[in-house]
Chains A and B, each alone.
Chain A
Amino acid sequence: MLRFFNICLCLALVVLAYVIYQVKYDTRTFDVAIASLSKDIEAERDSVAVLRAEWSLLNRPERIERLAQKYLDLAPPKPRQMLALETASPGDLERASAELSSPSLPPLPAVVKAPPKPTSKPPQPASGAQKAPKPAKLAKPAPSPWAPIEASVP
């Protein structure tokens, strides 16, 4: 009886030892996987940083301005071409449509929202607002606007 019990214990010991080793080895592989994953994450993070820097480099107002002058025939809006939606009268709209129909006059007035005065910052058009791209122009596959990209990464 006692012997049988001892044998059982021995077997259990062997089985447990095997299980422990198995678990141990699994953790080790997981550790390696974690390490390599964190390395990958780090690498991705670095390349995201590089890409963001490149994005900012390509979106420099200076470069956008140069490209806009080259590929778009748009000009900054004149004060006369801007109307605040809140204060626009039917007369303004009529004048605008009259100007639209006569070909010699400047393009459609850009409508800007009237800035809610001193309390908060007025809604600001994006930095390049004065040369907002005209969708029709973009739809046409123009000569690639990405051609004059300088050094890809600083």
Chain B
Amino acid sequence: MSEPAKIEPATDSANFARGRKRFRLICLALVLGFVAIGARLVTLGFAVTEPGGSGLYDISSTVHRPDIFDRKGTLLATDIKSATLYADPPRVIDRDELVEQVTGVLPGVNAAELREKLKQGRRFVSIKRELSPKQQAEVHELGVPGLGFVEEYRRVYPVGATACHVVGHVDTDNRGLAGIEQFIDENPQLSMASVSGESVTLSLDLGVQHVLHEELAAALDTYRAKAAAGIIVDVHSGEVVGMASLPDYDPNRREQALDKDRLNRINSGVYEMGSVFKVFTVASAIDAGTVNLRSSYDASAPIHVASFTIDDFHGKKRRLTVPEIFIYSSNIGAAKMALDLGGVRQRAYLTKLGLLSRGKTELGESASPIVPATWEKLTTMTVAFGHGLSVTPLQLASAMVPLVNGGIAVPLTFLPRSREDGMSVGTRVLKRETSEAMLSLLRLNVLKGTAKRAEVEGYRVGGKTGTAEKVVGRHYSTSALLTSFLSAFPTDAPEYVVLVMLDEPQRVAASHNEATAGVNAAPTAGRIIKRVAPILGVAPKLEDDQHKFDARLLASY
């Protein structure tokens, strides 16, 4: 800093002072400017750069779904990435050339439709979804401007139709439309994160499922039935280990699912099940104490009520004991038994067993049962042998569970659940003794009654057949039958309930030119049990060993 000289004129000194002030101001401005730039540089330096921000890969536009596994870890459904071809109309140079070239490579594309869509001039015209890598390469080779690819997830079901009604399927945007797929969308908390991504495990066993599916398909073919359905349930945990309904569809070709004939009959169809209902009539009567295994009813003459006549199919024309009513499937006996029980108590038992209200599982609510509006004396009698009340096969299997597991109604589930959990979430609806009596009746029916053809060496099958006449027009038809077999095995320590249902089986040579449940549904169930029992780990016991279960049973009868 130089001192202003006194000799210099005052004006100069004033100018100089002013100049210095300006100089300082400019310096300050510059310093502030540099500080600002520096600060910005520092913030930029610290800012985290997004690793994927450079546009190197595309974020998929469809939802990524969790994989679905069966109880043993077999993959049932997974996501695979595939490309979708789209066009960006403003960038298209020659519309006609593009349409021509694209349809040349992808013959499935509708040319007129595509031309129309391009004319509308939106920014994104989807041309074809789910391109194979080869097709993608071919389109890329064309080098037509205005075309682009988006990567999308596509759902694949490696096991195909085998588990279709349980697993369900998805729409083109990978959203669940049916079955467990839909349930997952509604309950995202289900999917468990693991090394290989998100996954959901089901209670289904693919081995069991396959046997069920295959045997039902064989039965459909052998007995020339319109439809077949079956379900296998663990009686302690309430887990559904197998469920199939034929005809079914391949979830990889989802358009097939629209066919009405391929609906899931287990959950969505209601049927008058016929004589299988006698298990519930007998169980209710035994539980209420109105009968015991030594009681008997006169079944020598048909019952006439109003304009109806209740008669027996396998008529014995004599007095029958309760076990005889059960194994000869006497409608007269069952009707009289229900009358003794009374309509009110009958209804109460059916309600407790869940047969009068919609069941709810992970597959959504089951179809609503068709319950008679008024519960008259005639209703009591017909419901006793399974007419006048329509239920879903799923409800039937679910109601069978307490009859064989000691009286505990366990809600069915398609997700894994341990046997202890199943028993603790269940509610007691029947006495333990009732369940024991029912097991001996069920086994007796296979040893001596209508279900002899369901016998499988070593697995002590017990069950009840049912042959119901379907309502065609306004009358029950004698040719259109619905046969079913409701069973449990092994009857000395029950583990699984098996239900098989055939819709309109024909009188074929394989079933001795008969069409009743004893010759089609029962042997089908027997074949299924024979193959699934080793998979499910049920130990076989032979009667000639120290196990005298059947002999004791027959002695008591």
User: Chain A: residues with CB nearer than 8 A to chain B?
Assistant: 20, 24, 27, 31-32, 34-36, 38-39, 42, 45-46, 48-50, 52-57, 59-62, 65, 76-80, 82, 84, 112, 114-115, 117-130, 153-154
The list of the 5 closest CB pairs from A to B, nearest first, reads: A127-B207, A79-B458, A79-B540, A56-B158, A61-B210
Find out whether the CB atom of A31 lies under 8 angstroms from the CB atom of B51: yes
* Min CB–CB distance B1 → chain A (angstroms): 16
Chain A residues near B81 (CB-CB < 8 A): 46, 49
Interface pairs (29), CB distance under 8 Å = A31-B49, A35-B51, A35-B54, A39-B57, A49-B79, A56-B76, A59-B74, A61-B207, A61-B210, A62-B210, A62-B214, A76-B531, A77-B534, A79-B457, A79-B458, A112-B539, A115-B537, A115-B538, A117-B493, A118-B493, A119-B420, A122-B539, A126-B207, A127-B72, A128-B207, A130-B531, A153-B80, A154-B156, A154-B252
B78 at the interface (CB under 8 A from A): yes
* Min CB–CB distance B75 → chain A (angstroms): 4
* Min CB–CB distance A38 → chain B (angstroms): 6
Find out whether the CB atom of B51 lies under 8 angstroms from the CB atom of A60: no
Give the CA-CA distance A115 to B376 in the complex, in Å: 49
* Min CB–CB distance A99 → chain B (angstroms): 15
By size class, the interface of chain B is 35 or more
Find out whether the CB atom of B540 lies under 8 angstroms from the CB atom of A130: no
With contacts A31-B49, A52-B78 taken as known, whether A80 is within 8 angstroms of B542 at the C-beta atoms is yes
B548 at the interface (CB under 8 A from A): no
B480 at the interface (CB under 8 A from A): no
Q: Mark B439-477, 1 if CB is under 8 A from A, else 0.
A: 000000000000000000111000000000000000000
Interface residue from B160, B205, B539 paired with A127 (Cβ < 8 Å):
B205
Find out whether the CB atom of B459 lies under 8 angstroms from the CB atom of A79: yes
With contacts A35-B54, A60-B159, A126-B72 taken as known, whether A27 is within 8 angstroms of B49 at the C-beta atoms is yes
Find out whether the CB atom of A120 lies under 8 angstroms from the CB atom of B419: yes
Find out whether the CB atom of B539 lies under 8 angstroms from the CB atom of A114: yes
Chain A residues near B78 (CB-CB < 8 A): 49, 52-53, 56
A-B contact count (CB 8 A): 128
* Min CB–CB distance A31 → chain B (angstroms): 6
Among B45, B80, B214, the one with the most A-chain Cβ atoms within 10 Å of its Cβ is: B80
Q: Write the chain B residue with the least CB distance to A123.
A: B537
Q: Write the chain B residue with the least CB distance to A127.
A: B207
* Min CB–CB distance A64 → chain B (angstroms): 9
Find out whether the CB atom of B196 lies under 8 angstroms from the CB atom of A48: yes
Find out whether the CB atom of B56 lies under 8 angstroms from the CB atom of A36: yes
Chain A residues near B459 (CB-CB < 8 A): 79
Chain A residues near B236 (CB-CB < 8 A): 118
Give the CA-CA distance A125 to B538 in the complex, in Å: 10
Give the CA-CA distance A124 to B25 in the complex, in Å: 88
Give the CA-CA distance A102 to B76 in the complex, in Å: 44
Find out whether the CB atom of B80 lies under 8 angstroms from the CB atom of A50: yes
Find out whether the CB atom of A55 lies under 8 angstroms from the CB atom of B75: yes
Find out whether the CB atom of B457 lies under 8 angstroms from the CB atom of A129: no
Given contact pairs A79-B541, A130-B534, a sample of 6 additional A-B residue pairs in the complex whose CB atoms are under 8 Å apart:
A27-B49, A38-B52, A82-B540, A121-B419, A124-B536, A125-B537
Interface residue from B57, B205, B458 paired with A42 (Cβ < 8 Å):
B57
B481 at the interface (CB under 8 A from A): no
Interface residue from B45, B49, B156, B458 paired with A53 (Cβ < 8 Å):
B156
